[in-house]
């Protein structure tokens, strides 16, 4: 059986193309994926990592995308899914602050934090005692 628990993954792998994210997010979140930046793509490994970064199970992602859990599991296991389903999965992640990166250094995923999250994490890191 496929493991639905989110993996333990850090919040950043590479940095990349965030500037395009803000334009048109309301139309993307309403299901209109025509406003996604040209050439934006996501592979199955990036999907698994993005889901883990969000702390979502396959069930939670399938509800967000409005597809069967099996569809998400198939995509994450590198099975083919229809292009419109892949676009819907991608748009859910983009509207939740996930960036998909393809550059000369490789392929990656990065999660944009909102200010409250950033301050909270910074405070946690700075209040922990240093390692000996």
10 Å CB burial of residue 44 (0-12, 13-18, 19+) is middle
Q: Tell which wins on pLDDT, 26 or 33.
A: 33
Model-level pTM greater than 0.95? no
Q: With H, G, I as helix, E, B as strand and everything else as coil, classify residue 103.
A: strand
Q: Give all domains of the chain, ordered by start, each with its CATH number.
A: 25-127 (1.10.260.40)
The per-residue pLDDT for range 63-107, each reduced to its tens digit, is: 999 999 999 999 999 988 999 999 999 999 988 889 888 888 888
């Amino acid at each position: 059986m496929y493991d639905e628990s989110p993996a333990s993954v850090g919040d950043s792998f590479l940095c990349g193309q965030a500037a395009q994210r803000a334009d048109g997010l309301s139309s993307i979140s309403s299901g209109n994926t025509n406003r996604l930046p040209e050439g934006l793509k996501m592979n199955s490994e990036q999907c698994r990592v993005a889901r883990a970064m969000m702390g979502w199970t396959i069930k939670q992602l399938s509800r967000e995308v409005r597809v069967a859990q099996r569809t998400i599991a198939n995509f994450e296991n590198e099975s083919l899914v229809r292009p419109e389903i892949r676009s819907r999965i991608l748009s859910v992640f983009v509207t939740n602050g996930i960036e998909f990166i393809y550059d000369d250094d490789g392929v990656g995923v990065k999660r944009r934090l909102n200010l409250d999250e950033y301050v909270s994490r910074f405070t946690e890191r700075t209040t922990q005692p240093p390692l000996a």
